[in-house]
Amino acid sequence: MVRALSLPMLPIRLCARRLFLKEKATRQLGFSLCLKQKCCNLRQSSHRPRSRRLCGPSLRFPGIAVLLACTLAASAQTKPQRIVSTAPSITETLFALGVGDRVVGVSQFCNYPPEVRKLPKVGSYIRPDAEAIARLAPDLVILERSSNELAERLNSLHIAFVEVPHSTLADIFAEIQIIGKAAGVPDRAASLVAQIKGSLDAIHSKAKALPSPRVVVIVDRQQGTLNNLTAVGPDNYVNQILEIAGGTNVLAKPGLPQYPRISLETVLRENPDVIIDLSGTQETEAERRASRDATMALWRQYRDLAAVRSGRVYAGTTDSLVVPGPRTPIAAQRLFGFIHGIGGSD
């Protein structure tokens, strides 16, 4: 059975659910962990910082309009020095562009590179905290999705912001270029995009010389069981890098949602050559090892699966595999290893 799952941005939404469960466990056990994606449509008006306080007087007083235009032109030439990121991929992009020293706040899901963990948090991807953002006095906020309420709040606080797309590879390249332009480093952004494309082309060239096994990728499930599986469907970032790495996604079918909710019976019926379970993302090596062992034990119960019999079930336990951004070539290379039987862990 396959059911559509409405997910504005799957990895972050999944992490939000996990965070809720872990925060519940915190009250019981005194321990918690935070963890980290379909984004809003890119609008042309969101390609540049904006503030509503610049709109009213310019319509009534032509002289002020000229002055404001000059001010905006001068501001466009000034690189923002206090930047707030509201999502992991934005944070990673800012650091990859060499402007990490200007980042003064990040979302609670941001944990890479490691130095961001000590930065002030401004809420979650799903619900950024406008007041927490304002307290940091940023001159630029970068969003992956904003509600009308948040946009109005940022405007009322006179906080400039841009929005970036985040659903596909093309969106990632656009995101990098938008962030590079907003941060005043467009040349670095162009170089980073070219570097990522070159790395992906090299991986794809290797993959074309190898067979293309049938693959199922699981990105979420009820922990400790193989129930309530969420898989990778068509037309999304993970499916695109899976294809680059040489896999054939058995659930990339017309009519299916980007991330379908499926049952174990669907996996048994499709009987893929390779199963990649990305449902666990841990921070320490000990946690990753324990997660991998538990994941493998679950799938080994189903010897009817070709992937289980051939030992081609893999557990991915780092967020680099599900956070679109500068680490995309790393994710594609890891998937290449899984798909072609070269590596069993990450």
pLDDT tens for residues 284-330? 778 878 888 999 999 999 999 999 999 999 998 888 888 999 999 99
> What is the C-alpha to C-alpha distance for residues 182 and 120, in angstroms, rounded to an integer?
21
**258 part of a folded domain:** yes
Full domain range(s) for residue 177: 44-52+76-184
CA angle, 242 as apex, 2 and 1 as ends, to 5°? 10
Is position 26 within any domain? Answer: no
- Domain boundary residue among 138, 164, 184? 184
The answer to whether residues 148 and 259 belong to one domain is no
If asked whether residues 169 and 107 sit together in one domain, one would say: yes
Q: What is the pLDDT of residue 27?
A: 32
Distance CA 263, CA 267 (A): 7
Residue partners of 189: CB distance under 8 A and separation at least 6: 97, 176, 177, 179, 180, 181
Please tell me whether residues 230 and 130 are part of one structural domain: no
User: How many domains in the chain?
Assistant: 2
Low-confidence ranges of the chain (pLDDT < 50): 4-9, 11-75
- Residue 244 · residue 280 · CB < 8 Å: no
Alpha carbons 277 and 259: distance in angstroms, whole number? 14
Name residue 217's beta-bridge partners. 276
CATH number for 161: 3.40.50.1980
Cα 26 to Cα 24: distance, rounded to the nearest angstrom: 5
144 plus 221 within the same structural domain: no
Q: What is the pTM of this model?
A: 0.78
Sequence-distant (6+) residues with CB within 8 A of 59 are 65
| Rounded-to-integer distance, Cα 105 and Cα 82, Å | 9
- Same domain? 278 vs 220: yes
Of the candidates 198, 190, 200, 188, the one whose C-alpha atom is nearest the C-alpha of residue 100 is: 188
pLDDT at 15: 46
The pLDDT value recorded for residue 44 is 33
**Rounded distance, CA 92 to CA 11, Å?**
15
- Regarding whether 264 and 164 lie in a shared domain, the answer is no
153 and 96 co-located in one domain:
yes
